[in-house]
Amino acid sequence: MKNTKIKEMTSPELEKELSESKTELFKLKFSLATNGLDNPLKIREVKRNIARIKTELRQRELNGNK
């Protein structure tokens, strides 16, 4: 997911996307541990998306308090 798309989303949408990404990360890790993945780099991509979403939410929180 690109940063421009993340910035266009509302905070509730970001919260929903964050929870979905965390669930996806759990499933990927579980799959890797049990039978392996076709593309193990997908885990890195999902982790980065989670970090991007958390960063945007935190920036909005800080800008809202000023």
Q: What is the pLDDT of residue 66?
A: 54
Tell me how many domains the chain contains.
1
Q: What is the pLDDT of residue 56?
A: 96
37 Rama sector, left if φ>0, alpha if ψ -120 to 50, beta otherwise: beta
The whole-angstrom distance between residue 25's C-alpha and the CA centroid of its chain comes to: 9
Q: What is the pLDDT of residue 49?
A: 97
**What is the rounded distance in angstroms from the CA atom of residue 4 to the CA atom of residue 25?**
22
Q: What is the pLDDT of residue 65?
A: 67
The whole-angstrom distance between residue 48's C-alpha and the CA centroid of its chain comes to: 7
Print the domain residue range for 57.
3-65
The pLDDT tens digits of the residues spanning 5-49 come to 999 999 999 999 999 999 999 999 999 999 888 898 999 999 999
Q: What is the pLDDT of residue 50?
A: 97
Name the phi and psi angles at 46, rounded to 5. -65, -40
Give the CATH number for residue 15.
Answer: 1.10.287.310
